Amino acid sequence: MPESWLPPEGVRRTSNVIKVSVGMFKGGDFRCPAADALKARGYRPVQAVRRRQEQLEHFAFGPFMTVCDARGRDGDEAAGGLRTAKPPHDGLRQWTVHALATYAAAFPEDPDLALSEVDSPWRYSHVVTGADPRGAEEYQLTVWGRCLQSRDGTVRELRLPVNRLGRKPPPDGFVAAAALVLAEGVPGPLPERVRIVEFALLDGKVRPLFDGTRTEAIAHYRAHGRAALAALLDSQEYRAGALCADCPYASVCPVLRRSPGLLGIDEPGRRRRWWSVTNGRNYRVCPARDHMRRLHLPAADEVEHAAAVDRGRALHAYLAERHGGGSPRPCTARVPEQWVPEGFELPEAERALGAELLRSHAAVCPMRLARAAADVRNEPRIVRHDTAAEVVVVAKPDLLYRDGGAWVWRETKTAARDRSLGRPLLEQYPQLALAVLLLARGDLGGAPDRGRIEFEVLRPGGADLEIIDPFVPAVRAMAEQVVRGLVHCWLRDEEYPARPGAACARCETARWCSNRPAFQVAR
C-alpha cells in the first residue's frame, strides 16, 4: 500500500473491517476509484447530508432482482406483479417484464443440474492475524447477482445480469474476486466446482466467465485478484462525473468543483441530481425518454446506430485522434482513404461523405492556433456542482484548446446538406448556452475575459465557423434563459410522464414505453 494514501478532509473511519463489493473491480466510467476505496475502508463523511429520496425506483436492475428473490422464496410469481420498495416507472416496468421472460428462457429448469437459488449471497471473510498496512482487522468480499447452488452443495453458480454483453468480458480481477467468493464464501458447505456466467437481459445471450474446481478458483484469484484488490483499496483517483449525484463523499471531494448558481435555479430539488444538456434536450421532447435513458435501458440499434449517427461519431473519433497525437498539427485536406477509426462500420456512401466533410475541416482546424500538447484537451469531461440547485452538471465539449492564454470551447457538427441554420444557435444547440455560462463565470480558468466559443459546421460545400462571445450581455442573457428553461421543470419532476407525439417514431427507448402503441393506433 502506498504510504501516502490519505483520506480527504471531512471524513472519519467507522469500521476496521474492509468490505469490498466485487462490482468495484469492474471500474469504468460508472465508478469512482477513490470513492470505492473510501467506502471499502469504512470511511464516512463527518457531516452527513440527508435529503428526501426519489419517489420512483432508480436502480434499473432493482425490480428484476426483487422479483427473482421473491420467486426463490415463494415459488413462481406473475411477472406483472412487480412488488418493489419504490414503484418503477412505466418504462422500467416494461423492461423488467421483458428481462424476466428472457432470463426464464435463457435458464430453463434442468432436473439434472438441480440448481436452486440460495437464501443469502455468499461472503468471503479473511481475519487479519498480524499488523495490517491498512489498519484492517478483517477483509470481506461479497458478490451481487443470482446465486445458485446444487442440491448437494457441490456446485455453485453466479449469474451476472447485464443489459447487453459488452464487446470485451469483465476484467480478470473482477472474475477472480468473484471466483474466490464462490469458492471460499459462506454460508453453506464449500463447493467442489464454481461457475460464473454473464447473461444479457435484452436477448438472453450467455457468456461463460469461469468454470473450474474450487482449487482452480483460488489459484485464479491469486494470479489475478490480489493485485487488483490492492489497486482498488489504495486508489486515490477521484473521477468526477454523473455518479457524484449519489456519492456520499461529494461534499468533501477534492476534485468536484462548486459552481453555485450556474443553472440559475434558486431552490434545490428533493435530492442531489445530475444533468447534462443531452438529458435536457431529451426531457424537453419527452420526460419518459430522458428517464429511461438515465436508467440505461437498452436503446434501439436502428436509432442509436443509424448510418448518419455513426458517421458523426466516427468523424469525431477521427478528429480526436488527429488533434490529440502529441504536438498540435493542423489537419490537411489529404484524408486517408481508410479514415474510419477502428470499431466503426459505415456504408460506402457515409464513408465518402465523411471524407468530404473532413476535407472541409482543414480550413478551420483549431490546431492552427494551439502551441503545445498541454494546450489541447480532446473531449474533456467538465463537472460542476451547482450547490444552489443541488445539481451536478456534466459537460463534454468536443475540444478545448488554449489560444493566447484563454480557453476556446470548440463544438463540431456535421450536416449532409448545405443549408443555413433556422433558430438562434443557443436555442438549437443548448450545449453552446452552457458553454457561455461556464466561460463567462471563468470556471475553466485561463484568461477569463478572452475565452470564446467556436461552433464548426462541416457541410459538403465547405465549413462554417461561428464565433460566440460569452461576455456580451445579450448573449449571456439568452444562454441563461435557454439553460434555465431546460432545467426548471425537470428538477422538480418525480413521475417523468410520456409525451406521445411525432418524436415517438424515432425514439430509441420507445420499445419500453406503453404509450407508444396508443399513439400509433391514434395515427
- pLDDT digits over 273-283, tens only? 999 999 999 99
Q: Are strands 376-378 and 257-258 parallel, antiparallel or unpaired?
A: unpaired
Residue 484: enclosing H or E segment and its boundaries? helix 473-492
The pLDDT value given to residue 419: 62
Band (pLDDT 50/70/90 cuts) for residue 517 is: low
Q: What angle do CA 191, 201, 80 make, to 5 degrees?
A: 105
Question: Is 50 exceeded by the pLDDT of residue 521?
Answer: no
Band (pLDDT 50/70/90 cuts) for residue 79 is: very low
Band (pLDDT 50/70/90 cuts) for residue 518 is: low
Q: Read off the C-alpha cell for 500.
A: 406521445
Among 5-19, 121-135, 290-304, 411-425, which is the least confidently predicted range?
A: 411-425
126 DSSP 8-state letter: E
First to last CA, the chain: 64
Rounded Cα gap, residues 80 and 222, in angstroms:
44
Angle, helices 33-41/214-233, rounded to nearest 10 degrees: 110
All residues at 6 or more sequence positions from 162 whose CB lies less than 8 Å from its CB, including other chains? 198, 199, 200, 201
Band (pLDDT 50/70/90 cuts) for residue 1 is: very low
The pLDDT value given to residue 522: 40
Instruction: Rounding to the nearest 10 degrees, give the CA dihedral for residues 23, 235, 394, 167.
Output: -40
- Omega cis (within 30) before 7: no
Rounded Cα gap, residues 78 and 131, in angstroms:
53
Residue 19 Cα to chain centre, angstroms: 24
Among 123-127, 267-271, 438-442, 489-493, which is the least confidently predicted range?
A: 267-271
What is the mean pLDDT of the segment spanning 193-211?
98
**Whose grid coordinates read 481475519?**
127
Strand arrangement, sheet containing 193-200: 115-117, 146-150, 155-162, 193-200, 206-213
Q: Read off the C-alpha cell for 512.
A: 419500453
Rounded Cα gap, residues 173 and 194, in angstroms:
16
What is the mean pLDDT of the segment spanning 406-430?
86
Q: What are phi and psi of 317, to 5 degrees?
A: -65, -40
Question: Is 90 exceeded by the pLDDT of residue 408?
Answer: yes
**Whose grid coordinates read 482546424?**
365
Given phi > 0 = left and psi -120 to 50 = alpha, else beta, which region is 410? beta
Q: What are phi and psi of 494, to 5 degrees?
A: -120, -10
